[in-house]
Structure 1
Amino acid sequence: MATTTTLADATSPEYAIGLAEARRTLSLLVEEMTTTNRVFDNRYSTGPDFGMTRDAIRTVIAGVQALAGQAATMEVPPTLTGLHGGSGGPIELTARLVPLAEAVLAGLRLPFPEDGSARRAALADYSAASEEFNTAINDLADRVRDDAEDLGVASAESEGDGLAEDAALYLEELSGLTATATRLLGDLTDANQAWQGQRDIGASFRQTEAAVLDFIERTRALEATVRDLTPPADLADRHAGPGGPVELAGELATLAEDVLDGLRLPTPDDGTARRAAAADYVATADRFNAIAEQLITQSE
């Protein structure tokens, strides 16, 4: 008895293979989505996130700006104003530190795939300038003590350190500047070391954002693949209709974008929106797999 070949028989194998491939791709996407979100949620157990590091550096910048302001408004003995405000003096050197600290923050903000080289270079420049500042301040203090008479700041009293009261107070303030500069350098270094360590062992915001953006693109590619499949004529309505693979693939693309939107929500968002979108993505993927399994079975 002759067998009649129908349109469904002719096209079913390709359609079934296409749906099966879409399911495999989606399975990988779901696994990556789940892992990416879990790693990002655990970032606080491995180190600071981008926002925490940014805020720490901002605090240092504010401290450096205050340091520069303090140097500019110090009470300086009249005979020392030239040294204090001149080339290589406290005012010039503290002012140099401000843009160098800001450069560290700018390096932190550079987008992926920047590997932190600019930030580390900016930190090295700041560190060198900070050390130069401390050395110059110490040299200035030594000069004031050693050349007190020539500089006109010697004390008429034979007791004490031989400095006039205003000069002694000036040196005390200079010592405070170096202590503050040293502390700020330590804070900036600690923030950068913690961030670098976090990048090595955990997922940063930028790394996670880049992963989700890539994830979105692949979900969109999956949607296009499913939309371009040619189902057997008797399954066309289920394929493109409500609850079918085309509709569900479109929902997956939207939900992937919702995950990114949730990731980008500012503090104090605790990740609830991102986790909800990821959970919806997984649930929709399950629905996709279920209908795809049915259609594969019916098309074989």
Structure 2
Amino acid sequence: MKHLIIVYFVLLLSIHTSAQENQPPRLGGIVKTTYLVSDYALAQSYYGDFLGFDKVFTYNSPQGKVVSYKVNDRQFLEFIEDKNARTKDRFLGVTFETKNAEQMRLYLQSKGVAPSQISMDGAGNKTFTVKDPAGVTLEFLEWGTNSLHRASKGKSLSDRRISRRIHHIGLYSEKLEDDSDFYTRILGFKLFLRVPEDKSRIPEIIYFQIPGTAEFIEHYPTDTRDFSHPCFVADDLQEVLYTLKERQKDEKLADPNVGKGRRWLLNLSTADGTRVEFTEMFLAK
């Protein structure tokens, strides 16, 4: 009897361990988006002066100098200068936080995904990248204790910031899938919003929730990679509009509209044609 009990508990432990191994390591949400920009001065003019985000530091990368603007203590917008940016795919990728880069990399490798090797970025964080099915670059980042991002905690949080948080990242997708092998079965994202809800009809928009967070990625039918964009939380979209009108120089403003998710949206673009979006959190009335 004692032998049977031991075998039973060993079996349970084995099942539990196997289940854990099949689960993706938890992510910590959206850390940053990285773009090509035709001129660092344009980044300062638009994201710094117009949108009010503070430039916090620069560091070197294989693609060139990275200039970082701060949204909050864990979210950043980063830019690399390329004089020909307007004729290129400017969206270089989105970065998600992971507690253990090596564990995340090994997990993805076990699922047949081909991650890059882990490297230390110029800011002092461990990172690696993968490509999603549409070829979009996803970076996974384990914060370095003394990284430039961590060292800026509590600093450069200007009251001029037009938003305090990135709500979601819109990502170019070749096709919309309710149950994407990559995002739901491998990364563990959850289908959060589908328009229309009737699954017998073709989806017009899909939101996947990053597990353990209140942040999302958005897939929307589009034939251009220029779709990829950050979407910022707007507590009061009308106030955002008034503030931007007061700061406006050469920047173009658009009329707000109600999106397919029944929330007020404001879609803008930089002089490079890079998209920037704002959304209110509650349904439009």
Q: Give the TM-score range, shorter chain.
A: under 0.3
- Give the structure-1-normalised TM-score: 0.21
- Give the structure-2-normalised TM-score: 0.22
Say which structure, 1 or 2, has more relative contact order (CA 8 Å, 6+ apart). Answer: 1
Report which of the two has the higher share of helix: 1
Greater gyration radius: 1
